[in-house]
Structure 1
Amino acid sequence: MSLESVKYERGKLEILDQLLLPLQTRYIKVQGVEDGWRVINKMQVRGAPAIAIVGCLSLAVELLKDNSLDKKIMRQEIEGKLNYLVSARPTAVNIKLAADELINLANTLSANEDVSPEEFKEKFISSIEGMLSKDIEDNKAIGKYGSEAILKNIEGEGSVRVLTHCNTGSLATAGYGTALGVIRSLHQSKRLERVYCTETRPYNQGARLTAYELVHEKIPSTLIVDSMVAALMRSRKINAVVVGADRVAANGDTVNKIGTYQIAILAKHHDVPFYVAAPFTSVDLSLASGERIKIEERPDREMTHIGEHRIAAPGIKCWNPSFDLTPANLITGIITEKGVFPPDRIKEYK
């Protein structure tokens, strides 16, 4: 059974604290927008799809507690709170797109005189709640299309070795996962020989989270440090790389966890197909290329400490971008819930 990173019943939201994994499993109550912003910003919840879902659900929880029945006030509050939630992690586009859609919905409901304040609130909250089930459906489709694309290059009924980076599974989505969903689909079809996951420094999402999910689901897997990727591709046959995305520009340029770009370069050098797995909510058509995507920079402490233990020399300066840009010409295909597309044509299918 997949891990559950988000637990939701109407009016009640809990998220799995990913800062404590893999040593502790503890859920945190999210009782409103302030809590939602905090768990996203602190990376207690992470992964672009999960950020969007948790942020919007935190608003739904808060609205259920609000007894105001003035549509104009509700519309204003919704817009302000959604824009605030977007500021928690600005690089991930999913929450921005979700916020824009929900603001448009609130404007439409507010302007419709046939919609009562009670109906306004119900329709708005129901729209947010539908994000959970849709994300899982989309992820399963991504898994299916991605595994089929990878297996097309394999002769007969042979098995494959796949490399992934960062965490893109149930802990980064509502469930099943994007890139890890592809790996899960390969495993279910009994065509996965082994998945290699990077530790993903400096935050170790691969070592802490991806490895945790792979062990939990008994998927054959091996952890490597980030600097081993070139040696791995040279010494062992890797059939494909599959990673996630925090934002995809209209030309197919992709921003993902720091370290993705260098893996894409190595994959190109070693003739290994390089796939990006992401729902269309990660595609931002307002950006012609990835050069315009703002890259979030994280605190020095993520590099200089492990827990409370300092591992870097005191006084050293740090540069800690959380993401990097992989140009479209290094990407074999973008795996979406609608199929697998060449990166330079992704805008035609959204």
Structure 2
Amino acid sequence: MADQYAQPGEDKRPTDIPAIRWEEPPEGPVLVLLDQTRLPAEEVERVCTDASALVEAIRSLAVRGAPLLGIAGAYGVALAAARGFDVDEAAMALEGARPTAVNLSVGVRRARAAYRSELAGGGDPEQGARAALAAARQLHQEDAEASARMAEHGLALLGELLPGGGHRVLTHCNTGSLVSGGEGTAFAVALAAHRAGQLRRLWVDETRPLLQGARLTAYEAARNGMAYTLLTDNAAGSLFAAGEVDAVLIGADRIAADGSVANKVGSYPLAVLARYHHVPFIVVAPVTTVDPDTPDGASIEVEQRPGFEVTEVTAPQAPVSGAGGGAPVAPLGTQAYNPAFDVTPPELVTAIVTEEGVVSPVTAGALAELCARSRQATAG
């Protein structure tokens, strides 16, 4: 069976369950994922024994979030190599699983390059598989380190923009340890502020239609003891109007060369609200999310999700009756517009926080300089 579930041990606490891990039981290597579609009702792990199972896990959002998708993609290539499957075929399937998230293709290509390099140097497929796994593990570690540096840079930026502490921060979707090898991107900054005694309130958008904010960010905020409040996405405007938001912190799935930011749908309206109300709108993402080959926002391919995600409501452990496995909330045959992401133009972004530093104002030249500096650091 290529894809199965495993229940974590009863003595494990939520913080002990990683979002992704590689294991090597006697029957062969597997990739184990914390199934995010089952949170917060259940902490259930999903076991993938081949790349096709991982592709399905990615498409179903059992594993999600730009940095973690890069890690998953690299491990997926290593899994295919270790199990004796066609590595190029697996890599192609993984890259196409979610087209907007550039980190996924970055991770896949990195592990595949390590595999090919080993073979080109005279190594056998087994050695190639070990090389791919080493590349995936290195990417995993690098992402954890990048997360810590982003939190540091982001906290310093909040201190500059909002002296005095007591920050009231609004976030959208989920950007914590569930999407990262470390503690996340935007959420990691809010968590750093919390630990420093500078976070007064974390406002959590529900993030419709799949409720990543309600199900996942609230879950992470609660287990970290943060002061947080959940709101529907369409309540954000009244929150800004009441003067209750000091800054917006979001992640990114792809940043174009000109600084346009693709993130979970609903991010662009927040940027417009933030600009009107003179509130900093801050994007937190690793340098790998910047795609120099995508010139501008119009060139970003935006994933279109199934309509039933809008016309039905799905909740873990809830009764289901709809075609997509949820409870219908719209008349049968209703058409739905369901882009997974929207694109925020650079002029609405106050700053982009990366592990290599902060870009502000956001321009093509500043981003290019950041990426060049990152490549030099990696080469060194």
Instruction: Call closer, same or farther: CA 1:43–1:64 in 2, change over 3 Å.
Output: same
Aligned to 1:166: 173
Aligned to 2:369: 348
Matched, 1:101 2:122: no
Aligned to 2:318: none
Deviations 1:228-264 (A, max 9, x none): 1111011133221010000000110000000000000
Farther-moved stretch of structure 1 (129-138 vs 259-268): 129-138
Deviations 1:46-88 (A, max 9, x none): 111112212321332332233xxxxxxx8xx322211110111
Aligned to 2:92: 83
Matched, 1:110 2:119: yes
CA displacement at 1:128 relative to structure 2: 1.2
Which residue of the other structure, out of 19, 22, 26, is the alignment partner of 1:5? 19
Aligned to 2:204: 197
SS at the partner of 1:40?
A: helix
Contact 1:92 / 1:247 at 8 angstroms: preserved in 2? Answer: yes
Mark the runs of 5 or more structure 2 residues left unpaired by the alignment: 1-14, 315-325, 372-380
SS at the partner of 1:325?
A: strand
| Counterpart-to-counterpart distance in 2, 1:12 and 1:287 | 34
Which residue of the other structure, out of 127, 134, 137, is the alignment partner of 1:126? 134
Query: Which residue identity is paired with 2:90?
Result: K
Which residue of the other structure, out of 26, 44, 62, is the alignment partner of 2:44? 26
CA displacement at 1:127 relative to structure 2: 1.1
Instruction: Call closer, same or farther: CA 1:15–1:116 in 2, change over 3 Å.
Output: closer
Which residue of the other structure, out of 139, 159, 162, is the alignment partner of 1:154? 162
CA displacement at 1:111 relative to structure 2: 2.3
| Counterpart-to-counterpart distance in 2, 1:199 and 1:80 | 37
| Counterpart-to-counterpart distance in 1, 2:186 and 2:40 | 20
CA displacement at 1:12 relative to structure 2: 3.4
Contact 1:2 / 1:176 at 8 angstroms: preserved in 2? Answer: no
TM-score if structure 1 supplies the norm length?
0.92
CA displacement at 1:3 relative to structure 2: 5.5
Contact 1:4 / 1:175 at 8 angstroms: preserved in 2? Answer: no
SS at the partner of 1:318?
A: coil
CA displacement at 1:168 relative to structure 2: 0.6
Contact 1:2 / 1:175 at 8 angstroms: preserved in 2? Answer: no
Query: Which residue identity is paired with 1:206?
Result: G
Aligned to 2:63: 45
| Counterpart-to-counterpart distance in 2, 1:298 and 1:48 | 17
Query: Which residue identity is paired with 2:108?
Result: A
Deviations 1:164-204 (A, max 9, x none): 00001111122301010111111111111111010001111
Contact 2:78 / 2:133 at 8 angstroms: preserved in 1? Answer: yes
Aligned to 1:248: 255
SS at the partner of 1:171?
A: helix
Aligned to 2:323: none
| Counterpart-to-counterpart distance in 2, 1:29 and 1:289 | 37
Contact 2:149 / 2:355 at 8 angstroms: preserved in 1? Answer: yes
Matched, 1:271 2:278: yes
Contact 2:261 / 2:346 at 8 angstroms: preserved in 1? Answer: yes
| Counterpart-to-counterpart distance in 2, 1:315 and 1:135 | 43
The correspondence of residues 320-335 of structure 1 with structure 2, limited to 5 A, is 320-335=338-353
Contact 2:174 / 2:213 at 8 angstroms: preserved in 1? Answer: yes
SS at the partner of 1:242?
A: strand
Paired residues in the alignment total 339
CA displacement at 1:117 relative to structure 2: 4.8
SS at the partner of 2:179?
A: coil
TM-score if structure 2 supplies the norm length?
0.85
Mark the runs of 5 or more structure 1 residues left unpaired by the alignment: 67-73
Contact 1:3 / 1:170 at 8 angstroms: preserved in 2? Answer: no
Matched, 1:144 2:152: yes
Aligned to 2:74: 56
SS at the partner of 2:279?
A: coil
| Counterpart-to-counterpart distance in 2, 1:243 and 1:335 | 10
Aligned to 1:181: 188
Instruction: Call closer, same or farther: CA 1:128–1:102 in 2, change over 3 Å.
Output: same
| Counterpart-to-counterpart distance in 1, 2:77 and 2:129 | 11
CA displacement at 1:2 relative to structure 2: 7.1
